[in-house]
Structure 1
Amino acid sequence: MPRISAAQRRSDFINAAVEVIAIHGIDGATTRRIAEQAQANLALLHYCYNSKEDLFADVYEFVSGRFRDVLQAGDPHADLADTARQLLRAGMKCYLESPSFTAATLELISWARRQHGERGKAVYDQALETMRTVLRGAPTDHPVEPETIDQIAYVIATLADGFAINWYTYGDRSAATEQMEITVSVLDSWLAARLGSTPVAP
């Protein structure tokens, strides 16, 4: 039987922690439950991580990395308005693909703001900065003020998070799929007013 590397074990524990946090919340995410979810013994978890705090630090990085990856995966040749739409869709799809990821992300950010302050902002700050970077790289017919880029990133984040809370609350995938299109149409209308672009027909 091939030996599983420490890096793979850590990845297993991170994924298990996401599932356990989604079901039991932070307070209920014991190392024992996480080890059981990963189908590993508790001693192995403690071999990979000195403390639950160390494991949660990697969970935060996993959440940040997942947002970063999906936000960077769009068409690099799309114009600014299309890039904004792609970013919004990517964020919503990231939530829709995994109810556990959605629940764990909301729980982690809320918990971290209560317990650690700045760490609670880190996931959000990194996602916003990734969006700004992608938006700044989008081709435009005329220069766009940094303030406008900040506003677009803020609107995308706000719409995606509203979608996430609704999806987390109701868990209706069919309704959520329809609501994705409604949410994109809201962004279209805002972009048309802010940039003078033509909204995309649904």
Structure 2
Amino acid sequence: MPRIPAAQRRSDFIKAAVEVIATHGIDGATTRRIAEQAKANLAMLHYCYDSKEDLFADVYEYVAGQYREVVLANDPHGDLVETARGLLRAIMVFYLDSPSFAAAALELVTWARRQHGNRGIAVYDQALDTLRGVLRNAASDQQAEPETVDQIAYVIATLADGFALNWYTYGDRAVAEEQMEVTVSVLDSWLAARLGTTPAAT
């Protein structure tokens, strides 16, 4: 049987940890369960990571990185309104298609805020910074104040988080898909009021 490189094993353990956290929560995310989810033995996990804290540090980076990838990969390179709508929709689609990620991210951020305040804030800050960066690029040719761009990033994050929590709570995909449209229409109305644009037809 070919030997699996340590870097690949660490990636496997990170993804396994996300699944276990989504199912069992932080307290139930034991190293044994994570190893079993990764289809590896416990000794290999301890070879890759000195402690569960070290593993969780990489899980935080993974969560922030996934969010960043979704935002950057779905930048429509349009105007500010088009970009804001596209980003909100892309984030919600990602949550819809990755329920374990959504559940684990919610669990990780709230747990980290309780246990390691700055770490929980840092993960959220990274996500907001990525949103702001893309929105600022879209606003470069428009008369949009930096404060307005920051507000749009906040509104997108708040709407996406609310959608994720509702999806995690009820798990009804058909309803969630309808709620995506409602959520985008809320953003449209806010943008119209703030920027003087016309809400997009749904």
Q: TM-score range by the shorter chain?
A: over 0.9
How many Å apart are 1:77 and its aligned residue?
Answer: 2.8
* Aligned 1:88-103 pairs, distance under 5 A: 88-103=88-103
* 1:138 and 2:138 matched: yes
Contact 1:74 1:86 in 2 (8 A): yes
* 1:50 and 2:56 matched: no
* 1:119 and 2:119 matched: yes
Partner residue, 1:159: 159
Q: Which runs of 5+ in 1 are unaligned?
A: none
SS of 1:4's equivalent in the other structure is: coil
Partner Cα distance (1:106, 1:77) in 2? 29
How many Å apart are 1:140 and its aligned residue?
Answer: 5.8
Please give the per-residue CA displacement for 1:58-105, whole angstroms capped at 9, x wherever unaligned.
000010000000001124531000000111012111211111111111
Partner residue, 1:80: 80
Alpha-carbon RMSD:
1.1
Partner Cα distance (2:140, 2:190) in 1? 17
TM-score under structure 1 length normalisation: 0.97
How many Å apart are 1:122 and its aligned residue?
Answer: 1.4
Report % sequence identity.
Answer: 77
* Aligned 1:6-17 pairs, distance under 5 A: 6-17=6-17
SS of 1:28's equivalent in the other structure is: coil
Runs of 4+ in 1 over 6 A off after TM superposition: none
TM-score under structure 2 length normalisation: 0.97
Give the number of aligned pairs.
202
Contact 1:78 1:139 in 2 (8 A): no
How many Å apart are 1:185 and its aligned residue?
Answer: 0.4
SS of 2:25's equivalent in the other structure is: helix
